[in-house]
Amino acid sequence: MISAEKIPNNVGLSSNKRLQRALEHWQPQYIQWWKDMGPQGFQDYHQVYVRTAISVDPSGWAHFEYVKLPEYRWGIFLADPVHDRRIGFGDFFGQPVWQEVPGEFRNQLRRLIVTQGDTEPASVEQQRWLGQRCPSMYDLRNLFQVNVEEGRHLWAMVYLLHSYFGRDGRDEAEELLARQSGNRDKPRILDAFNEPIENWLDFFMFTMFTDRDGKSQLLSLSESSLDPLSRTTRFMLTEEAHHMFVGETGIARIVERTCQLLKESGFSEDVRKVGGIDIPTIQKFINLWFSLSLDLHGNEISTNAASYFGNGLKGRAQEEKFDDHHIGEAYYELDVPEGQGLERKQIPMRSAMNEVLRDWYVGDCEAGVVRWNKVFERHGMSERLRLPDRKFNRGIGMFRALHFDPNGAPVSEEEWERRRYEWLPSAADRDYLLSIMSRPVYEAGKFANYIAPPLRGVNRMPINFEYVRTEA
Ligand code: BYC
DSSP notation for 266-315 = TT-S-GGGGT---HHHHHHHHHHHHHHHHHTT--SS-HHHHHHHHTTSS-
Are the beta carbons of 424 and 288 closer than 8 angstroms?
yes
- Report whether residue 2 contacts ligand 1, using a CB cutoff of 6 Å: no
- Amino acid at the residue 242: H
Q: Which residues make Cβ contacts (< 8 Å) with residue 28, sequence separation at least 6? A: none
Interior CA angle at 406 toward 405 and 408, to 5°? Answer: 65
pLDDT score of 418 more than 70:
yes
Kindly tell me the sign of the dihedral angle through the C-alpha atoms of 44, 175, 184, 236. Answer: negative
Q: What is the DSSP letter of 464?
A: T
Are the beta carbons of 179 and 332 closer than 8 angstroms?
no
- CB neighbour burial string for 54-66, b if at least 16 within 10 angstroms, e if fewer: bebeeebbeeeee
Classify 49 as helix, strand or coil: strand
Distance 297 CA to ligand 1 centre (A): 6
Residue to mutate (ligand 1; options 244, 299, 301, 309; most atoms within 8 A of CB): 299
Kindly tell me the sign of the dihedral angle through the C-alpha atoms of 427, 433, 436, 442. Answer: negative
Strands 64-68 and 46-51: antiparallel
pLDDT digits (tens, 9 = 90+) for 352-361: 999 999 999 9
Residue to mutate (ligand 1; options 145, 217, 240; most atoms within 8 A of CB): 217
Distance 358 CA to ligand 1 centre (A): 12
- Amino acid at the residue 317: A
- Residue 119 CA: nearest ligand 1 atom is 42
Distance 159 CA to ligand 1 centre (A): 20
By C-alpha distance, which of 127, 2, 90, 116 is closest to 52? 2
By C-alpha distance, which of 253, 172, 176, 175 is closest to 207? 253
pLDDT, averaged across the chain: 96
- Report whether residue 302 contacts ligand 1, using a CB cutoff of 6 Å: yes
Q: Which residues make Cβ contacts (< 8 Å) with residue 159, sequence separation at least 6? A: 11, 23, 76, 232
- Report whether residue 217 contacts ligand 1, using a CB cutoff of 6 Å: yes
- Report whether residue 181 contacts ligand 1, using a CB cutoff of 6 Å: no
- Residue 295 CA: nearest ligand 1 atom is 36
Percent with pLDDT over 90 in the chain: 93
pLDDT score of 55 more than 80:
no
pLDDT score of 2 more than 70:
no
Q: Which residues make Cβ contacts (< 8 Å) with residue 5, sequence separation at least 6? A: 13, 14
Q: Mean pLDDT, to the nearest integer, of 245-249?
A: 98
Residue to mutate (ligand 1; options 233, 396, 400; most atoms within 8 A of CB): 396
**CB-count burial class (<10 Å; 0-12, 13-18, 19+) for 455:** exposed
Q: Mean pLDDT, to the nearest integer, of 174-186?
A: 98
- Amino acid at the residue 56: V
Distance CA 218, CA 213 (A): 8
Q: Mean pLDDT, to the nearest integer, of 1-18?
A: 87
DSSP notation for 297-362 = T--SS-HHHHHHHHTTSS--TTGGG-S-SS-SS-EEEEEEEETTEEEEEEEEGGGGHHHHHHHHHH
- Report whether residue 249 contacts ligand 1, using a CB cutoff of 6 Å: no
Q: Which residues make Cβ contacts (< 8 Å) with residue 4, sequence separation at least 6? A: none
pLDDT of residue 56: 76
pLDDT of residue 19: 95
pLDDT digits (tens, 9 = 90+) for 185-241: 999 999 999 999 999 999 999 999 999 999 999 999 999 999 999 999 999 999 899
Q: Mean pLDDT, to the nearest integer, of 279-287?
A: 98
Distance 201 CA to ligand 1 centre (A): 24
pLDDT score of 3 more than 90:
no
What is the pTM assigned to this prediction?
0.97
Distance CA 442, CA 202 (A): 20
- Report whether residue 211 contacts ligand 1, using a CB cutoff of 6 Å: yes
pLDDT of residue 340: 83
Closest residue (by CA) to atom 45 of ligand 1? 304
pLDDT score of 27 more than 90:
yes
Distance CA 159, CA 194 (A): 24
pLDDT of residue 399: 97
- Residue 207 CA: nearest ligand 1 atom is 23
Distance CA 365, CA 248 (A): 10
CB atoms within 10 A of CB 32: 12
- Report whether residue 123 contacts ligand 1, using a CB cutoff of 6 Å: yes
- Report whether residue 154 contacts ligand 1, using a CB cutoff of 6 Å: no
Residue to mutate (ligand 1; options 190, 207, 238, 364; most atoms within 8 A of CB): 190
CA distances from 301 to 146, 214, 291, 351, 471 (A): 33, 20, 18, 5, 54
By C-alpha distance, which of 122, 196, 112 is closest to 157? 112
Distance 120 CA to ligand 1 centre (A): 13
Are the beta carbons of 173 and 161 closer than 8 angstroms?
yes
Give the range among 52-66, 114-128, 177-191, 411-425 with minimum mean pLDDT. 52-66
Distance CA 239, CA 233 (A): 10
Helix axes 137-164, 106-126, angle to 10 degrees: 160
Distance CA 33, CA 149 (A): 15
Closest residue (by CA) to atom 34 of ligand 1? 116
Cα pseudo-dihedral 413, 419, 422, 425, rounded to 10: 50
- Residue 397 CA: nearest ligand 1 atom is 8
Q: Where are the beta strands (DSSP E) in 99-176?
A: none
pLDDT of residue 463: 98
Distance CA 246, CA 136 (A): 13
pLDDT score of 4 more than 80:
no
pLDDT score of 400 more than 70:
yes
pLDDT score of 58 more than 80:
no
Q: Mean pLDDT, to the nearest integer, of 379-407?
A: 97
Q: Which residues pair with 68 in a beta bridge?
A: 47
pLDDT of residue 393: 98
- Residue 300 CA: nearest ligand 1 atom is 8
pLDDT of residue 52: 87
pLDDT score of 397 more than 80:
yes
pLDDT of residue 1: 67
- CB neighbour burial string for 360-391, b if at least 16 within 10 angstroms, e if fewer: bbeebbeebbeebbebbeebebebebbbbbbb
Split at pLDDT 50, 70, 90, the class of 401 is very high
